[in-house]
Structure 1
Amino acid sequence: MSEATPAPSSAQPKPWRQLDRWSYALALYGIGGVAIVLLALPTVIVLITSFTSAGTLRFPPPGFSTQWYRALVSASPEILAAAGVSLKVACAATLAATVLATAAALALTASKAGWARAADTALMSPLLLPALALGLGLLLTFNQMNLGLSMTTLIIGHTVICFPFILRTTLASLAQIDRALEECSLSLGASAWFTFAYVTFPLARGGIGAGAFIGFMASFDNVAISLFLADARSEVLPIRLWDLIENMLDVRAAAASGVLIATTVVLMIIMEKLTGLSRFIR
């Protein structure tokens, strides 16, 4: 009778396995902690600086005061005007990009042909190009078309920026929809518009809304495209804040940034509750 084969022993002693887990956790959380600090520290510094009692931007502040937030409301008509322009441009660009990106996503999802993959890559190309190169390319394109710089050209440029964000999240949302639901609607006699309005859109609106939010923020905060496509009457908020920092080290720029940070956080919380934003940006 042959001897029984002994069971294989553990590859590593238990203390070594624990050390391996601890070292992995230390490296993972250590690198993650460094990344979080590097990403969050500039924001924290800006927020602290916005409450300075000094007359110019300096860190650490010699004292704390809310005077610059009061000045932002009562003595900064040019900043408020620039914020209004940014809001109009971002809303118009987001609306246009949402319509175009949703239509493109529906077409790409419905087709299995090779052209769909190539079209997807081409439509995402604004994210692959450096922002300055994209802005210069749009400016040259408008010049070739004999279009002068105006609010319209600025909105078109920002639409190009918003489009890829909305397209990507909409495609991700459409990929989770059971095609049988649309086929059932069509087979029962519903039109394509009815099927989209009552079947596809309700199921995909989370991804569309998430992309629209990301596109809106990308447009509102954009500098490169606005530098090339804005005229003297359409100065946007990021360029105005840049001028304040570059020429005067004005603390109102930090105060405006603080308002934008707080607004962004509130909007992100609202969008997470309404659309589950984090599911579409992972």
Structure 2
Amino acid sequence: MSRRQHNLEALSFQIVMTVIAILALILIVSPSLVVVIVSFTSGFSLKFPPPGYSTRWYLELWNAWQLQFAARNSVVVALWSTGLSIVLGVAASLAISRSKRLTAKLLDSLFMSPLVLPALAFGLAALMFFSLIGLPVSLLTLVIGHTIVCVPYVVRNTVAALAQLEPTLLESSAILGASRLYTFRRIVLPLIRPGIISGAFIAFMSSFDNVPVSLFLRDAATDMLPIRMWQDLEGKLDVTIAALSSVLIIATIALMAIMERTTGLSKRLTG
């Protein structure tokens, strides 16, 4: 009887959790699905359901030079920030991954601190710091600010990859006379490459979609895509923004599928 009751409780728990998961999935996916549907409207305003369907707003993206300019800036800043995050993050990970010293723990806390500090507070502090040293806001300040908030993602994923690295491989390489640089290039780097790529992907997406830091560190000449979309939605309900949002949604899903296929991103995020 107790075994039957236990099975019923387990079944009830599974049913409840499945229902909760389905409801959560609906709440997460529904807003994006509504945006995609509205982007195909034939009308001139954001209205759901749309009065008709057309691809005219996707064609309008080719003429939206302000959005293209902002998108180009966002891509440039994201690429530079990701590249710098990889260099700094991998170097930091190698220094703190296997060290038991207090300095290594302090460095780990330092590199993780941008994830704890509110992004708006960091953006304002960065603006005040750059103003204090006389550095005007530009693409350079954006790259610096984005790099600081993106490095933790590379560090965390690379440290996780290094934790799975067998120490005997490094010892065997040293016994056979290989230098540290050769060992890193031929043994360590190939084994931790999936972790680096995963961290770089998250860093790129975080930089491209960043609003709080970009809000303080950009000017008219360095307009960023998320800020431009936000401003256009405040001033007017432009359907072109819905079309652009749909393109970004599809591109993000495609990139996530590629990353999951090549590096097992979900396992690294939950591991």
Q: Which TM-score band (shorter chain)?
A: over 0.9
In the alignment, structure 1 residue 166 sits paired with structure 2 residue 154: yes
State the SS of the aligned residue for 1:110. coil
Distance in 2 separating the partners of 1:13 and 1:116 = 50
Distance in 1 separating the partners of 2:201 and 2:106 = 26
- TM-score, length basis structure 1: 0.92
2:50 aligned residue: 61
2:22 aligned residue: 33
The 5-angstrom pairing of residues 146-161 of structure 1 reads 146-161=134-149
Tell me the amino acid that sits aligned with residue 153 of structure 1.
T
2:11 aligned residue: 22
Tell me the amino acid that sits aligned with residue 44 of structure 2.
G
Tell me the amino acid that sits aligned with residue 231 of structure 2.
D
Q: Is the 8 A contact 1:135 1:225 kept in 2?
A: yes
In the alignment, structure 1 residue 256 sits paired with structure 2 residue 244: yes
Q: Is the 8 A contact 1:96 1:159 kept in 2?
A: yes
1:149 Cα offset (Å): 0.6
1:179 Cα offset (Å): 1.3
Moved more, 194-203 or 22-31: 22-31
In the alignment, structure 1 residue 49 sits paired with structure 2 residue 38: yes
Distance in 1 separating the partners of 2:237 and 2:183 = 55
Tell me the amino acid that sits aligned with residue 47 of structure 2.
R
Q: Is the 8 A contact 1:151 1:231 kept in 2?
A: no
1:72 aligned residue: 61
Distance in 2 separating the partners of 1:155 and 1:183 = 38
Tell me the amino acid that sits aligned with residue 256 of structure 2.
M
Moved more, 129-138 or 166-175: 129-138
In the alignment, structure 1 residue 124 sits paired with structure 2 residue 123: no
Distance in 2 separating the partners of 1:141 and 1:280 = 35
The 5-angstrom pairing of residues 196-275 of structure 1 reads 196-275=184-263
Q: Gaps (5+ residues) in structure 2?
A: none
1:183 Cα offset (Å): 2.0
| Residue-by-residue CA offset, 1:23-80 (whole Å, 9 max, x unaligned) | 201221122112111211111111111111110212221211111001112x211111
Tell me the amino acid that sits aligned with residue 68 of structure 2.
L
Distance in 2 separating the partners of 1:230 and 1:258 = 25
State the SS of the aligned residue for 1:233. helix
Moved more, 116-125 or 242-251: 116-125
Distance in 2 separating the partners of 1:38 and 1:137 = 35
1:144 aligned residue: 132
When the two structures are aligned, how many residues end up with a matched partner?
270
1:88 Cα offset (Å): 0.4
Q: Is the 8 A contact 1:97 1:159 kept in 2?
A: yes
Corresponding residue to 1:109 among 97, 106, 110 = 97
Moved more, 112-121 or 239-248: 112-121
Distance in 2 separating the partners of 1:59 and 1:222 = 28
Distance in 2 separating the partners of 1:21 and 1:148 = 61
State the SS of the aligned residue for 1:238. helix
| Larger Rg belongs to | 1
Over the aligned positions, Cα root-mean-square deviation in angstroms equals 1.3
1:262 Cα offset (Å): 0.8
1:5 aligned residue: none
1:153 Cα offset (Å): 0.3
Tell me the amino acid that sits aligned with residue 213 of structure 2.
I
Q: Is the 8 A contact 1:169 1:280 kept in 2?
A: yes
Distance in 1 separating the partners of 2:225 and 2:10 = 49
Tell me the amino acid that sits aligned with residue 34 of structure 1.
L
